[in-house]
Chain A
Amino acid sequence: MTTVTGSNFGDTPVVPAKPDNYLTHGKTISSWLLTLDHKRIGIMYLITALLAFFIGGMLAEVIRTQLLVPQGLVFHGTGSVASSYAAYRYYNQVFTLHGIIMVFLVLIPIIPGALGNFALPLLLGAKDVAFPKLNLISFYLYVAGAVLAIVSTVLGAVDTGWTFYTPFSIQTESYVVVMVLGIFLVGFSSIFTGINFMVTIHKLRPPGMTWFRMPLFLWSIYATSLIQVAATPVVGITFVLLMMERVMGIGIFNPALGGNPVLFQEFFWFYSHPAVYIMILPAMGIVSEIIPVFSRKHIFGYEFIALSSLAIALIGFLVWGHHIFVNGQSAELDAVFSFLTFIVAVPSAIKVWNWLATMYKGAIVLKTPMLYALSFIVLFTIGGLTGVVLGALSEDVVLHDTYFVVGHFHYVMMGGTLIGFIAGLHYWWPKMFGRMYNERIAQWTCVILFIGINLTFFPQLMVGADGMPRRYASYLPMYQPYMIVSTIGAYIQLVAFLSMASYLMHSLFYGKKAPVNPWGAASLDWETSSPPPHDNFETTPSVGDPYDYADLVFDSGINGYVRTEKPADSPIPVTARH
């Protein structure tokens, strides 16, 4: 807490020092690498995860280029079956690495790690997370896991698919053990982050911020952390058992030794289905923050959005069996899992409905974060509803292992998580770096990305419904038109991402100085300067309703919003309340 000392009132003129912020608080490399500041750790997560995203994205472009022609454009044989087989093995490695990198190194850590770390203590009005050292350990565990993934790729890239299904993952000669060890470390990073965030939300809420006055992003992070803490150990031990299979020959998942490969699938999906909610819940939280701000209207159905996050987290634990419908599970169990899968769609639908109701009769401002949030709603709805299609038992039997599944989860992961992340990145960018990006270019980029995503993944739904299997390096010529459109979409996405990278880099150095509150948000993260000082807040901010925009007015002088005293006699405008 700063206090004005007596010397400031003396005769010597006070030289206004350059304001110190967390980016300039220490300039040495070790002040970054060994920092305990949640904001710097968030930035380091951001950089690492974006690097991983770049690699995973380039692999995706290789996949799409391969599928331009039926026999494969990148990897194809010289005519004989044997040469094709040898060439297509590389394709297996490419889509496996794409999957592993995107799931474990990008989608799971990127929102909690980067945006969660940066924004969570700010939203709480706190100085840091509950355990700053554990936070740094989490980051380095994540880096260590990523390094092991690179090592395994250099030694002999894994070709099992990101799911590591046995018995092939026991038999393949690629370096499964190293890769799985890397994912094990990333898993523990995820557990530690979850513990840290849960304790922070429990113990560091400022006086006056009750559970139901928290910003909704905190609710979604809380639900995510719950899954991280409870589900990740299961995949950890599954991967340890897989390592033991390869090293010691335990046999638990190996049918040749009396083991059961479906047991591996049960274990794997017991984590990996809840992991889908680890990916999507924080993105939903970001959208819940953005939509009321850019509708200038109080969030509608706060309690429903908050509790639906918890409902998704809990029901998400009960649906893993829908990945195993056709793998020998009993029909009775199939029916139960199918039913539970329909149930989990309900809380998601509640969220979407409340977002729409928030926008209804609001004064919608189509700034970039809002455009991404709207894209999220469209794309996530397509992804979610195709998920319900797949959850229907009789349809899954037909669509299992086809491109329909690929289209479905890319709509959710790309159109949901990643678009949610990008929305959050644009929303908090002025707070992170104290600079504004070029709004016009950013808006056009969003439109291009939206078109690219739909062009890429909608044809995949169609071609999957036509029967094209996933993970094939070559295909029948009848599918080629869909594949060409899909590949064009992937290139359009590449253009959009390159544009995004360039205008964001440009804004870092040449962007306009960001005001304290450029969007007119009412949550505590916008009470401090942009970028925030090392200690976040000079005094404890006072807690109000995080979605009450009535007393925020636009000041064209600073190009941002300022808080005014609410006149006591004037009623709150009707549109500001639900």
Chain B
Amino acid sequence: MVGEPQPESPNVSQRYAGKQLHVPGAGTMGISLLVGSLSILFLSSLIGYICYWYSFPRSITVHLPWGLWLSTAVLIFSSFTIHWAWLAIRNDLQRSTRIALLATLILGIAFLGLQCWNWAEIYGALQSADQALKALHPQYVSPIGGMRMAHALIYEKQALFAAFYFFTVLHAMHVVGGLIPLGVVNAKARQNVYSRNYHPGIRYCLIYWHFLDAAWILILITLLVTFK
């Protein structure tokens, strides 16, 4: 056999083209499995928290910061912009793709900024709740590190704030984990790497971004139900 071998089928020739594999559909399946696995992670933690919350006396009122609504709006909007980027590249609109991807990146960073503001807000609420409890129970000491207080009110307050931080930080870490590849995809889009037929990076970011959105909405609903 001299010269170029005839490929048996497109799949096989691509698979044996070299050590660097490009297997059609593998990336999408991989990212979908990863998103499925991470969804189980979020769902199980939410279920655990709801089981715990169920035993609360539910006598404490902590208001969620209104900035949460703002950050929710920003995240949902970014889900639309990345979908726009995906539609644009499928029609080979390079300029629109670049703009939409950049918008998604900026909105993602803005979401993180807003979450930082929310954490500061809820920290303030934590301080005032501590003050209120101190006035009610003079023997009460700070809960951080000290686990020996007995009053149900105190642990309910502690658990609510901890849950708020736990879920929002867990989600924010996943946002950070999405922004890094999104930055890479942005840079690649500026170099016109993607086309109508080849845009795996955008598709993976799209799937992941919709997952971030869905996870956030579930978290928000849980927080709304458990905080009054």
A residues with CB within 8 A of B: 1, 3-6, 36-37, 126-128, 130-132, 134, 170, 191, 194-196, 198-199, 202-204, 206-207, 229-234, 236-238, 240-241, 244, 248-252, 254, 256-260, 263, 267, 270, 534-535, 540
Query: With A and B bound together, what is the CA distance between A390 and B135 in angstroms?
Result: 54
Q: Which residues of A contact B55 (CB under 8 A)?
A: 258, 260
Q: List 6 A-B contacts (CB under 8 A).
A: A204-B15, A230-B40, A233-B44, A257-B159, A260-B52, A535-B19
Q: Which residues of B contact A204 (CB under 8 A)?
A: 15, 23, 26
User: Distance (Å) between the CB of B3 and the closest chain A CB?
Assistant: 7
- CB-based contact A207/B8 at 8 Å: yes
**Of the candidates B1, B41, B162, which one forms a contact with A249 in the assembled complex, judged by CB atoms under 8 Å apart?**
B162
With known contacts A251-B159, A257-B155, A244–B166 Cβ distance under 8 A: yes
With known contacts A4-B2, A237-B44, A250-B166, A256–B147 Cβ distance under 8 A: yes
- CB-based contact A258/B9 at 8 Å: no
- CB-based contact A251/B5 at 8 Å: no
User: Distance (Å) between the CB of B95 and the closest chain A CB?
Assistant: 32
Instruction: Please name the residue on chain A nearest to B38 by beta carbon.
Output: A233
Q: Which residues of B contact A535 (CB under 8 A)?
A: 19
Residue B144 at the A interface, CB < 8 A? yes
Query: With A and B bound together, what is the CA distance between A5 and B5 in angstroms?
Result: 12
- Could you say which of B27-35, B62-70, B73-81, B218-226 contacts chain A? B27-35
Q: Which residues of A contact B29 (CB under 8 A)?
A: 198-199, 202-203
Query: With A and B bound together, what is the CA distance between A198 and B28 in angstroms?
Result: 12
Query: With A and B bound together, what is the CA distance between A251 and B23 in angstroms?
Result: 47
Q: Which residues of A contact B162 (CB under 8 A)?
A: 244, 248-251
Q: Which residues of A contact B21 (CB under 8 A)?
A: 127-128, 130, 132
- CB-based contact B3/A3 at 8 Å: yes
**Of the candidates A194, A258, A540, which one forms a contact with B12 in the assembled complex, judged by CB atoms under 8 Å apart?**
A540
A-B pairs with lowest CB-CB distance, top 4: A233-B41, A250-B162, A257-B155, A130-B26
Residue B133 at the A interface, CB < 8 A? no
User: Distance (Å) between the CB of A121 and the closest chain B CB?
Assistant: 10
- CB-based contact A229/B147 at 8 Å: no
User: Which of B146-172 touch A at CB < 8 Å?
Assistant: 146-148, 152, 155-156, 158-159, 162-163, 165-166, 170
Beyond the given pairs A132-B21, A195-B34, A534-B19, 20 more chain A to chain B contacts, judged by CB atoms under 8 angstroms and listed by A's residue number, are: A130-B26, A132-B19, A199-B33, A206-B12, A233-B40, A234-B44, A237-B48, A241-B166, A248-B166, A249-B143, A249-B144, A249-B145, A250-B158, A251-B155, A251-B158, A251-B162, A252-B159, A256-B148, A258-B56, A270-B44
Q: Which residues of A contact B181 (CB under 8 A)?
A: none
Residue B36 at the A interface, CB < 8 A? yes
Instruction: Please name the residue on chain A nearest to B5 by beta carbon.
Output: A1
State the main secondary structure of chain B at its contact with A: helix
- CB-based contact B2/A5 at 8 Å: yes
- CB-based contact B15/A229 at 8 Å: no
Residue B16 at the A interface, CB < 8 A? yes
Query: With A and B bound together, what is the CA distance between A540 and B45 in angstroms?
Result: 46
Count of interface residues, chain B, beta-carbon cutoff 8 Å = 51
Q: Which residues of B contact A258 (CB under 8 A)?
A: 52, 55-56, 152, 155-156, 159
Residue B117 at the A interface, CB < 8 A? no
User: Which of B41-56 touch A at CB < 8 Å?
Assistant: 41-42, 44-45, 48-49, 51-52, 55-56
Query: With A and B bound together, what is the CA distance between A134 and B34 in angstroms?
Result: 12
Q: Which residues of A contact B30 (CB under 8 A)?
A: 130-131, 134, 195-196, 199
With known contacts A130-B21, A195-B34, A249-B143, A257–B158 Cβ distance under 8 A: yes
Residue B25 at the A interface, CB < 8 A? yes
Instruction: Please name the residue on chain A nearest to B54 by beta carbon.
Output: A260
With known contacts A207-B9, A251-B155, A130–B147 Cβ distance under 8 A: no
User: Distance (Å) between the CB of A282 and the closest chain B CB?
Assistant: 19
Query: With A and B bound together, what is the CA distance between A195 and B36 in angstroms?
Result: 10
Q: Which residues of B contact A170 (CB under 8 A)?
A: 147
User: Distance (Å) between the CB of B18 and the closest chain A CB?
Assistant: 9
Q: Which residues of B contact A267 (CB under 8 A)?
A: 44, 48
Query: With A and B bound together, what is the CA distance between A134 and B21 in angstroms?
Result: 13
- CB-based contact A4/B159 at 8 Å: no
User: Distance (Å) between the CB of A244 and the closest chain B CB?
Assistant: 6
**Of the candidates B15, B36, B42, B148, which one forms a contact with A126 in the assembled complex, judged by CB atoms under 8 Å apart?**
B15
User: Distance (Å) between the CB of B43 and the closest chain A CB?
Assistant: 9
Residue B128 at the A interface, CB < 8 A? no
With known contacts A250-B163, A263-B51, A128–B12 Cβ distance under 8 A: no
Query: With A and B bound together, what is the CA distance between A194 and B52 in angstroms?
Result: 31
Q: Which residues of A contact B1 (CB under 8 A)?
A: 3-4
Q: Which residues of A contact B2 (CB under 8 A)?
A: 3-6
Query: With A and B bound together, what is the CA distance between A127 and B155 in angstroms?
Result: 56
Q: Which residues of A contact B91 (CB under 8 A)?
A: none
User: Distance (Å) between the CB of B9 and the closest chain A CB?
Assistant: 6
Q: Which residues of A contact B12 (CB under 8 A)?
A: 206-207, 540
